[in-house]
Amino acid sequence: MPFATVDGKTLHYLDQGQGPVVLLGSSYLWDHTMWAPQIEALSCHYRVIALDLWGHGQSGRLPEGMTSLDDLARQALALMDHLDIDCFNLVGLSVGGMWGARLALAAPKRLTSLVLMDTYVGVEPEPTRQYYFSLFDKIEASGSIPEPLLDIVVPIFFRPGIDPQSALYQQFRASLAALPADRLRDSIVPLGRIIFGRDDILPRLHELDAGRTIVLCGDQDKPRPPSEAQEMAELIGCPCLLIPEAGHISNLENPEFVTEALLAILTRKH
């Protein structure tokens, strides 16, 4: 797997396939492998690049001085520059969509299309922000995500009806339980505070190219409900597509639907 040095740290990414470029932005607490079903299908027709967030997967620790999601957008552009890629499609889920929208605003001519999935670029509602920050404080203090916190955090990412004994659920739970203290304290917790302490860019959404943008959302997404997706789509003036039988990680809960939708979106743009 290739690496690039960005802001003095090692950024890990997958680079697979040939053709027009599709950049995949992952959710917080997941690495690029969350896109496995889509990578397999898309890389038959496209060059797929999927990066690991700082402290996730094989990427290095969070660079010093990071304060905003604008930094993540700038770093993703730096990776594209490193790879000599001028124009590309961007599919961002959760925080991938948060920094993806900022990248689109900062460098609109570089995007062929923008897909915002299970995401929201307004501020985090204050009660939720305080709740997440209290969880971060507990994780930071313990240097782990203890069992009671796993029982709180893991279900957030899935639809309410998911079988907690399913491989998808159990593998994610095990990955969080295995996170080492230094990675949690140096990267994951501070990145979480950046994500959930983000500023509001809803007033800028009208600047996005509505003809090149689409918003997708799991119909049972709890942390980023369909109402938020519809609000953003209205501000952009673009379509909003709900993904049936899916929660926050909609691309893994209904992979066939999402893959077909992405292929249809990308085909229209090329």
- Please name the residue that has the structure tokens 């203090």: 141
Q: How far apart are CA 52 and CA 38, in angstroms?
A: 16
Q: What is the CATH number of domain 3-122+200-269?
A: 3.40.50.1820
Q: Per-domain residue ranges for the chain?
A: 3-122+200-269
pLDDT, position 268: 85
pLDDT in tens, 204-258: 999 999 999 999 999 999 999 999 999 999 999 999 999 999 999 999 999 999 9
Q: How far apart are CA 208 and CA 113, in angstroms?
A: 10
pLDDT of 269 > 70? The answer is no
pLDDT in tens, 57-94: 999 999 999 999 999 999 999 999 999 999 999 999 99
Show the tokens assigned to 116: 């915002």
Residue 194, classified by CB atoms within 10 Å of its CB into exposed (0-12), middle (13-18) or buried (19+), is buried
pLDDT in tens, 122-136: 999 999 999 999 999
pLDDT in tens, 14-52: 999 999 999 999 999 999 999 999 999 999 999 999 999
pLDDT of 267 > 80? The answer is yes
pLDDT, position 270: 59
pLDDT, position 167: 97
pLDDT in tens, 141-165: 999 999 999 999 999 999 999 999 9
